[in-house]
Amino acid sequence: MNERLNRQIEFIREIDKLKTIYRQSYLMDKSRHENDAEHTWHITLMAWLLEEHLDQRKVNLLRVMKMLLVHDLVEIDAGDTFAYDEKGQEGKFEREMAAAKRIFGLLPVDQRDEMLALWLEFEQRETLESRYAAAMDRIQPLLHNYFTGGKAWQEHGVAADRVRARIVFLQEDLPDLYSLVQHLIDDAVKQGYLRP
């Protein structure tokens, strides 16, 4: 087996671990927490499905999908940090950067560099592609919370303003989705799913 293919197979084998990294979100049927691999599939498909809601239609969808497919791989080493866990945010970027170097470092150099660059682009959220990808990553757990009666929100005592603060960046690029999400948050408060 040639050396490039050997490295690619090792990477495919290693990233299987993403299926064992569990998040705070529950499946829509509330039966269990969802894991990062499932979450990633879901938001990659959402990025395709919801593209028409971008106010600027110039997004490179393939780039968005690639970014999403690898955005959580660092959690294989660094673990999932709950969005509303303030303590967990300390040193998070350093932990994740070390993870990115190890995991993408399994690949041939050109592929390592491509994935590392996409992961950094996602983290920095400066391009339209990365803002759109991040929007999917924020909207999906919000839908899961809303449609499970706020199960994870309630377990962690999350308040509406903290949820609102995390989606405010949608306003400019994705006005329709921003309105939808605002409506869901308001309704969640009304239904008692989310602390006012």
Angle at 74 between CA 148 and CA 170, to 5 degrees: 50
Among 21, 23, 59, 66, binds a copy of itself (CB under 8 A): 66
CA–CA distances in Å: residue 51 to residues 54, 115, 128: 6, 22, 12
The single residue among 22, 46, 159, 164 that binds a copy of itself, judged by CB under 8 A, is 46
Binding mask 71-100 for a copy of itself (x = CB under 8 A): ------------------------------
- The window from 39-47, 88-96, 122-130, 160-168 that contacts a copy of itself (CB under 8 A) reads 39-47
Nearer to a copy of itself, 45 or 189 (CB): 45
d(CA 106, CA 98): 13
Counting every residue written for the chain, the total comes to 196
What interhelical angle do 92-104 and 109-124 show, nearest 10?
160
Report angle CA 192, 164, 56 to the nearest 5 degrees: 130
Query: Which of residues 13 and 102 has its CB atom nearest to a copy of itself in the complex?
Result: 13
Q: Is 167 exposed, middle or buried (0-12, 13-18, 19+ CB in 10 A)?
A: buried
The answer to whether residue 62 forms part of the interface with a copy of itself (CB under 8 A) is yes
Interface with a copy of itself, residue 12, by CB under 8 A? yes
* Residues between 164 and 183 with contacts to a copy of itself, criterion CB under 8 A: 176-177, 179-180, 183
d(Cα 141, Cα 73) in Å, to the nearest integer? 18
Phi-psi bin for 33: left (phi > 0), alpha (psi -120 to 50), beta? beta
Chain contacts with a copy of itself (rule: CB under 8 A): 1-2, 4-5, 8-9, 11-13, 15-20, 27-29, 31, 34-35, 37-38, 40-42, 44-46, 48-50, 52-53, 61-62, 65-66, 69-70, 107, 111, 140, 143-144, 147, 176-177, 179-180, 183
